[in-house]
């Protein structure tokens, strides 16, 4: 699988030709997310992602979606702390319409007052949903209490800030940040595809000031948020990483993460769930940027099992990675990377994920070589380093259990 990159006006094309398919997957990646916002406009990047689908200078709301969906295609978007991504997938015979629709959504949305107010109402309901989904809520709490501004804020914003967002703020954020667009294309790549995309960027892709901020961390501690309707404790424990996806250590970290948390044969799942029955769900919630990151473990346990869970996790942290565990992680990771090439969606996701981690798309053959070169000694050393650092804990807990949780985690 070869990832080709071409510079264009104020951005790049990243494309992967897949000659055997008759589809085209496209993504317009904008280098602006919630970290680009000021505190009093928290949520505006996510609001723009919503309202952009409500109509453009050329298409009304229905036509935007219908024109792709009627031919079997799809249209979607998502916002992160650093990026906003708009995606489409269509049969190749309709690629020109997909390019036109995405370019309209990204560069020429109407942002009419009624649509903005409507989507603000939708997002406030979305905020309530997230707050009542305790797995999501504990992840936001972890960021709020461990990361400095602006990365501490949830991508979706807060009810109080979203309610106050105006059309003027929406237009200003879009005008200020929607440039330096990167385009990802996977599937049937032809001269016409490249020419059409070039025309779009030459016409619309202005230069904008890059985001000059990186994640910074607060001192480690324990934060608890109590809820009346809970019977279990949702918790994340983790620590900062002083390297990211561009580091030489990243392949070893991928192997470590795989052996610890990927699959039912992983260390955490086998020990904590299968052998001891302490939790239903235990998983890694890592986040990496280009030069730093977070290692985190999420679990959900009943209060009477909390102490045993923490005890067992700390045992695992003190143990060396065994040769069998290392072999499992390395072989599984290599296999999962190889299987990416089986589907357009796998390749598409791999390239997008590389970009939104602030890295460069690394060809899979090159990544496979890096992973294959990882040694047991490297993985053991990395695990010791992570385990010996101070950890930060965030928990969403039943009312009345706060003192018990703090006592157990602080022991």
409 and 220 in contact (C-beta within 8 Å)?
no
Query: Could you report the per-residue pLDDT of 187-221, keeping only the tens digit for each?
Result: 999 999 999 999 999 999 999 998 888 999 999 99
**CB crowding 58-78: b at 16 or more within 10 Å, else e:** ebeeeebbebbeeeebebebe
4-204 matches 222-410 in fold = yes
What whole-number distance in Å separates Cα of residue 258 and Cα of residue 31?
29
What class has domain 222-410?
alpha beta
The pLDDT value recorded for residue 193 is 96
SS3 assignment, position 361: coil
pLDDT, greater one: 261 or 213: 261
Average pLDDT of every residue of the chain: 96
Nearest alpha carbon to residue 193 among 201, 77, 354, 355: 201
Domain ranges of the chain: 4-204, 222-410
Nearest alpha carbon to residue 398 among 301, 294, 289, 254: 301
The pLDDT value recorded for residue 228 is 93
Query: Could you report the per-residue pLDDT of 145-183, keeping only the tens digit for each?
Result: 999 999 999 999 999 999 999 999 999 999 999 999 999
Confidence of residue 376 (pLDDT cuts 50, 70, 90): very high
Q: What is the DSSP string of 184-253?
A: EEEES--HHHHHHHHHHHHHH----PPP-----BPPP-EEEEEETT-SSEEEEEEEEES--TTSTTHHHH
Tokens 């949830």, located at residue: 154
Cis check for the bond before 150: say yes or no (omega within 30 of 0).
Answer: yes
**CB crowding 253-285: b at 16 or more within 10 Å, else e:** bbbbbbbbbbeeebbbbebbbeeeebbeebbbb
H/E stretch holding 173: helix 167-177
Architecture of domain 4-204: 2-Layer Sandwich (3.30)
pTM over 0.85: yes
């Amino acid at each position: 699988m070869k990832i080709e990159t071409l510079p264009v006006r104020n951005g790049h094309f990243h494309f992967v030709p897949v000659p055997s398919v008759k589809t085209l997957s496209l993504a317009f990646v904008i280098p602006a997310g919630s970290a680009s916002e000021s505190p009093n406009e928290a949520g505006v990047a996510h609001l723009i992602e919503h309202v952009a689908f409500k109509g453009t200078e050329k298409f009304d709301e229905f036509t935007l979606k219908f024109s792709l969906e009627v031919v079997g295609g799809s249209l979607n978007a998502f916002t992160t702390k650093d990026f906003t991504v708009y995606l489409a997938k269509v049969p190749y015979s309709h690629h020109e319409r997909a390019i036109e629709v995405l370019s309209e959504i990204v560069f020429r949305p109407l942002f009419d007052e009624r649509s903005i107010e409507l989507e603000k109402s939708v997002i406030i309901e979305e905020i309530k949903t997230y707050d009542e989904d305790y797995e999501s809520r504990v992840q936001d709490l972890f960021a709020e209490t461990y990361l400095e501004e602006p990365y501490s804020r949830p991508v979706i914003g807060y009810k109080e800030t979203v309610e106050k967002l105006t059309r003027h703020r929406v237009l200003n954020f879009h005008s200020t940040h929607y440039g330096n667009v990167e385009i990802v294309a996977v599937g049937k790549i032809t001269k016409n595809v490249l020419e059409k995309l070039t025309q779009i960027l030459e016409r619309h892709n202005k230069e904008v000031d890059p985001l000059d901020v990186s994640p910074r961390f607060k001192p480690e501690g324990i934060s608890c948020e109590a809820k009346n309707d809970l019977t279990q404790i949702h918790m994340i424990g983790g620590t900062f990483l002083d390297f990211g996806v561009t580091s030489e250590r990243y392949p070893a970290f991928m192997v470590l993460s795989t052996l610890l948390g990927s699959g039912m044969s992983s260390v955490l799942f086998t020990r904590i769930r299968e052998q001891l029955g302490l939790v239903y769900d235990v998983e890694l919630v890592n986040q990496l940027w280009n030069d730093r990151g977070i290692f985190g473990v999420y679990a959900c346990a009943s209060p009477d099992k909390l102490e045993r869970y923490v005890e067992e996790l700390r045992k695992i942290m003190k143990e060396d990675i065994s040769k069998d565990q290392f072999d499992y992680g390395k072989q599984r990771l290599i296999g999962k990377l190889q299987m990416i090439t089986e589907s357009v969606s796998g390749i598409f996701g791999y390239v997008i994920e590389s970009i939104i981690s602030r890295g460069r798309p690394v060809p899979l053959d090159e990544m496979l070589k890096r992973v294959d070169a990882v040694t047991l000694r490297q993985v053991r050393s990395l695990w010791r380093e992570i385990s010996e650092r101070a950890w930060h804990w965030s928990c969403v807990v039943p009312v009345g259990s706060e003192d018990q949780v703090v006592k157990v985690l602080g022991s």
